Amino acid sequence: MYNSPPLTGYYFSWCEMPSSIKVAPSLLAANFANLGQQIATIESAGADWHHVDVMDAHFVPNLAFSPDMQGHLNGLTDKFIDTHLMMEEPSRYVDAFIQAGSKNITIHVECNEDVESSLKNIKDKGLMAGISLKPGTPVESLDPYLEMVDLILVMTVEPGFGGQSFIHPMLEKLQYLRSRLDSLGLDSYLEVDGGINDETGRLCAEAGANVLVSGSYLYNAENPKQAIQSLRD
Ligand code: DX5
Ligand code: ZN
């Protein structure tokens, strides 16, 4: 079901563990009844970024996070806000999410827009620009954009919902992308999102990821500090 990259053409080298891992809890899993306390807890537990999953109920079968909802974060944090637009037409919302504090905006290569101009639009507004792909999309579809983005997000579940199981063949996409970035001399972030816990997070880091998005594992943890540390170990 998942088109793993071809085994020929590049060597599965045992990737060096990236120098430092960033942990980005996904707000999709937060309890919005007391968002202030949730943010304070996850930040004192060591979160580096906040990952905001935005869904339009067309590109993915769920609806999540308006710019106004993200805007509530502004008064609660000064951490880096990493916005993931799972949308057919992401460009329509870039300005609104910039207003709402986004520092990186990631769009999907499968979106219903000209990807290059959409990424350029984000960059021209002074933000980091990211590109993401669904599990069923071949990794080579990102090749044309690797030199223009600051971040690549490999979905390790079918986007739309938190709490799903990690799709292991996605590790080959990470290895392919890490070797492409290294051979191009690019220091872009390589991020994963979906089913990330201590075990899958380690596999992703060994395959070359250096930003781990995690929702249910972190927000449901008895001890969030220990859970975040387990993603860094
Ligand atoms: C899927 C979402 C989830 C979320 C993380 O569209 O993007 O991957 O961020 O959820 P968990 O960590 O619970 O799988
Ligand atoms: Zn996400």
Average pLDDT over residues 148-172: 97
Q: Which two tokens stand for residue 46?
A: 């060591």
Q: What's the pLDDT tens digit per position in 177-220? A: 999 999 999 999 999 999 999 999 999 999 999 999 999 999 99
* Whole-number pLDDT of residue 7: 43
Active-site residue, from 48, 53, 82, 150: 53
Q: Which atom of ligand 1 is nearest to the CA of 219?
A: 13
- Cα 9 to middle of ligand 1, angstroms: 31
What's the Cα-to-Cα distance from 18 to each of 77, 95, 143, 195, 197, rounded to whole Å? 27, 32, 21, 20, 17
Average pLDDT over residues 109-127: 98
165, 167, 170, 174: CA torsion to nearest 10? 30
> What's the pLDDT band for 74 if we cut at 50, 70, 90?
confident
Query: Does the annotation count 193 as an active-site position?
Result: yes
> What's the pLDDT band for 133 if we cut at 50, 70, 90?
very high
Going from N- to C-terminal start, the domains of the chain cover 9-232
* Whole-number pLDDT of residue 14: 43
Query: Does the annotation count 114 as an active-site position?
Result: no
- Cα 133 to middle of ligand 2, angstroms: 11
Q: Which two tokens stand for residue 229?
A: 């540390």
Please state which of the ranges 71-80, 136-145, 193-202 shows the lowest mean pLDDT: 71-80
181 three-class SS: helix
* Whole-number pLDDT of residue 75: 84
Residue 191 Cβ inside 6 Å of ligand 1? The answer reads: no
* Whole-number pLDDT of residue 19: 54
Describe the strand order of the beta sheet including 80-86 as a list of residue ranges: 22-25, 211-214, 189-193, 151-155, 128-133, 104-108, 80-86, 49-56, 63-64
Q: Which atom of ligand 1 is nearest to the CA of 86?
A: 6
Average pLDDT over residues 91-105: 98
Q: Which two tokens stand for residue 34?
A: 């007391």
Average pLDDT over residues 71-78: 90
Average pLDDT over residues 135-164: 97
Q: Which two tokens stand for residue 150?
A: 């600051």
- Looking at every residue in the chain, the average pLDDT score rounds to 93
Which residue of 54, 58, 161, 198 sits with most ligand 1 atoms within 8 Å of its CB, as the best mutation to test the pocket? 161
More confident residue, 7 or 110: 110
CATH superfamily of 9-232: Aldolase class I (3.20.20.70)
- Is the pLDDT assigned to residue 1 strictly greater than 60? no
Quote the CA–CA distance of 89 and 68 in Å, as a whole number. 18
- Is the pLDDT assigned to residue 158 strictly greater than 50? yes
Return the bridge partners of 154, or none.
133, 192
- Is the pLDDT assigned to residue 12 strictly greater than 60? no
Under 8 Å between Cβ of 200 and 166: yes
Residue 160 Cβ inside 6 Å of ligand 1? The answer reads: yes
- Is the pLDDT assigned to residue 3 strictly greater than 60? no
